[in-house]
Amino acid sequence: MSLKRKTLELVERREQVLQGGGETAIKKQQAMGKMTARERIISLLDDDSFQEYDLFAQHEGRDFDMDKKELPGDGVITGTGKIYGSPVCIFAQDFTVAGGSLGLMHARKITKIMDHALKLKVPLIGINDSGGARVQEGVNSLAGYGEIFYRNTLASGVIPQISVILGPCAGGAVYSPALTDFVFVVDKISKMFITGPEVIKTVLGEEISMEELGGARIHSTITGNAHFFADSEQLCFDQIKSLISYIPWNNSQKAKRLRPRNPKNSFKIDDIVPVDPKQPYDVRNVIRAIADSSEFFEIQEQFAPNIVIGYGRMNGQTVGFVANQPVYLAGVLDVDSSDKAARFIRFCDAFNIPLITLVDLPGYLPGVDQEYAGVIRHGAKVLYAYSEATVPRITVILRKAYGGGYIAMNSRHLNADIVFAWPSAEIAVMGPEGAANIIFRKEITTAEDPDKMRKIKIKEYKDKFANPYVAAAKGYVDAVIEPGETRRYLLHALEVLETKDVPKPQRKHGCIPL
Amino acid sequence: MDLNDKDFEVFSYEGTDYKTLLTRKFLQRKKYEPEDPSKIIAQIPGTIVKIMVKEGQVVNPSKCLFILEAMKMKNRVHPPVTGTIKKILIAEGQIVTKNQLLVELELPETKTKSKSKDLVSFEEPKKRKKVFGRKRDR
């Protein structure tokens, strides 16, 4: 046989495997409104950048007549590629092959590409679309899951890990995405749960649809398991590309620097923020007034909207923004918003992304449900995450900063690098109304006209304490700045902090309250 | 986000009224209700296998009221306090849902102190026959 013939044979063999689960299965996939695994990889990666690994892998099933079955690529496509020129490792489960079920070889292909990503120190992207464990392969498929989880954990904080849920992802399979840094979901396509509607019905008698139990909307609004929600797979891939542009390849690098650009003139801080701390405004517009090109890439937009997190650029360099959102619940910290912020802060810290915190909150959310849900333990995560972070940490106090909430939001006391305050800042134990009621209780209750006296005392307290100068006098605020000049101050601070180097105590790892 | 078309609500925090939106989760939060020891409620959905008491009977926490089978487990349900059975709202063989009211107690008026005892205990497995029992009996 000549080399030419052998090459022809290769092409033939390859063609066969590239068909995946065959025409009928592909049609079924399309009928569900889903792309095939191969189409997904091609739409996500730069043109002609995909190098596939293990195309000719054969599955290991020997029981239940599985040895007679052909499963092309064993239901998963793996390889390397590029996004905006940045290298990534990728795997995509192929639902057209045995429902994308996970057998031993399937898992081996995934763990191989994970090891590769960790060795190359490049981001890992996993596209999940699988019916779950391949039951015929029994305990081997469980072993496969476990080996994936182990690598997810080892890679955590070393390379960014991205999970894309484009189909079912149920039972044990959900724990790989759960261990990764960013989870992307698509409306009506993504489904994630530990136990499905049928089991829930038989065990607990509760009836619920798959969509209501673990659809994309639920995970983006209620559970917080998902970080990005999209209406279509294509839009989801655009989001992934944007994210990749903001984050570094690994923990020893910085995110790619773009050309610095000024914010748009349409975002003016003076027009955005009302002085009265009781009035709402969209804090994301403050971020847009500060960031390059007025671009803010928000994470977990729908989940715990009382805190805003996401990326922007300052002078071309990626920064992470954490901001209280007065539009929702006056911007309080609660169980969910604490979890959301703490996780983001830790990712930024792990991947050398400086943090800018914008403060405007009345404190932690009161309520029996909050206390019972462990707001103490969850709220502590914010304190922990900020305190341990060694990346540049800058705070801007916009308006109200009361009580424990003030301390938690990267205060000077948690060793922030620089704390700015606007003249509208009110740094105090609580709002003037609450404080006056406590401090002047006697005067108010014994007064002839208690309401009038209360008003007088509230004003007295407000004049004296509802400003940034009391804290500035103690050195808790490093500089009181003109709101319109915030960007200039931040750029200077980021530049100065470029050389920040903080030694950490020797330890295996801290014990964050989880 | 256009703030002009939003229906802002008043959110009162430490005496200050903030104009803000409330989240779905906040609105759907579980309102706190103190536990009522006179109401025996199903902690888990399942089937009532056996009822051991009658209406009017005086029972204390050591008395098993009924067996609720759920998740392949026969749960023996005891009253949290001493009281008289006012009403039994279940029958043997009945399937009950979570949080369903099963038995109502009449509590003695003076004693309202509730003993903290688990509402549910697990039935101990039946003692296995001793294989060498006979020999030892001698």
Are residues A327 and B11, on separate chains, in Cβ contact within 8 Å? no
Give the pLDDT mean for A336-350. 98
Q: What pLDDT score was predicted for residue B133? A: 41
Tell me the C-alpha distance between A103 and A133, whole Å.
7
Return the domain boundaries, chain B.
Answer: 39-122
Write out chain A residues lying below 8 Å of B20, CB-based.
280, 326-331
Strand partners, B40: B103
Average pLDDT of the segment spanning A280-294: 97
Q: Which two tokens stand for residue A212?
A: 């209501």
Alpha-helical segments (H) within B4-132: 24-27
Instruction: Give me the count of residues in chain A.
Output: 514
Model confidence pLDDT, tens digit, residues A260-271:
999 999 999 999
pLDDT in tens, A40-96: 999 999 999 999 999 998 888 788 878 878 888 899 999 999 999 999 999 999 999
Structure tokens, A238: 């655009």
Cβ–Cβ contact B7 with A under 8 A: no
Q: What is the 3-state secondary structure (H, E, C) of A45-105?
A: CCCCCCEEECCCCCCCCCCCCHHHCCCHHHHEEEEEEEECCEEEEEEEECCCCHHHCECHH
> What percentage of residues in chain B have a pLDDT greater than 90?
46
Distance CA(B58)–CA(B64), nearest Å, equals 12
Interval A119-134 mean pLDDT: 95
Residue B110 C-beta-side C-alpha neighbours within 13 Å: 0
Q: Which residue has the tokens 């009996």?
A: B137
Buried b (16+ CB within 10 A) or exposed e, A24-48: ebbeebeeeebbbbbebbeebbeee
If you ran DSSP here, which 8-state letter would residue A133 be given?
B
pLDDT tens digits, one per residue of A156-205: 999 999 999 999 999 889 999 999 999 999 999 999 999 999 888 887 77
Cα A125 to Cα A168: distance, rounded to the nearest angstrom: 17
Is pLDDT above 70 for B130?
no
DSSP result, A208-231: --HHHHHBHHHIIIII---SEEES
Output the CA torsion sign for A419, A422, A423, A427: negative
Q: Is it the case that residue A424 has pLDDT exceeding 60?
A: yes
Question: Is residue A373 over pLDDT 70?
Answer: yes
Q: Which residues pair with B51 in a beta bridge?
A: B66
Q: What is the pLDDT of residue B44?
A: 86
Which pair of structure tokens corresponds to residue A118? 């960790």
Q: What pLDDT digit, counting tens, does each position of A387-411 carry?
A: 999 999 999 999 999 999 999 999 9
Residue of A nearest to B27 (CA): A329
Nearest CA in chain A to B23: A328
Structurally, at CATH architecture level, domain B39-122 sits in Beta Barrel (2.40)
Alpha-carbon radius of gyration of chain B:
24
Torsion (CA) A57, A60, A66, A69 in degrees, nearest 10: 10
Q: What span, in angstroms and rounded, lies between the C-alpha atoms of B30 and A370? A: 10
Percentage of chain B beyond pLDDT 70 is 79
Residue in A203, A278, A369 nearest the CB of B30: A369
Of B18, B25, B44, the CB nearest to A278: B18
Q: Rounded to an integer, what distance in angstroms lies between the CA atom of residue A347 and that of residue A241?
A: 18
φ, ψ (nearest 5 deg) of residue A243: -60, -45
pLDDT, residue B138, reads 40
DSSP percent split of chain B into helix, strand, coil, nearest 5: 10, 35, 55
Strands (E) across A142-189 are located at: 161-165, 168-170, 182-186
Q: Can you tell me the distance from the alpha carbon of B25 to that of A370, in angstroms, rounded to the nearest whole number?
A: 11
The number of helices, as runs of H, and strands, as runs of E, in chain B is 2, 11
Which of B20, B44, B48, B95 to probe the A interface (max A CBs under 10 A)? B20
Answer yes or no: is pLDDT of A304 > 90: yes
Longest Cα–Cα distance of chain A, Å, equals: 110
| Per-residue pLDDT tens digits for B3-30 | 888 889 999 998 899 999 999 889 988 8
A383 pLDDT band, cuts 50/70/90, is very high
Percent of chain A with pLDDT over 90: 82
What predicted TM-score, i.e. pTM, was given to this entire model?
Answer: 0.89
Q: Tell me the residue type at A427.
A: I
Which one-letter DSSP state was computed for residue A454? Answer: H
Q: How confident is the model at residue B121 (pLDDT cuts 50, 70, 90)?
A: low
Chain A to chain B Cβ contacts (< 8 Å): 88
Mean per-residue pLDDT over chain B, rounded? 81
**What is the ipTM for the molecules in this complex?**
0.82
CA distance B5 to chain A (A): 13
Q: What is the largest CA-CA distance in chain B?
A: 92
What domains can you pick out in chain A, each with its CATH number? 3-246 (3.90.226.10), 269-430+467-499 (3.90.226.10), 432-465 (no CATH)
pLDDT confidence of residue A136? 85
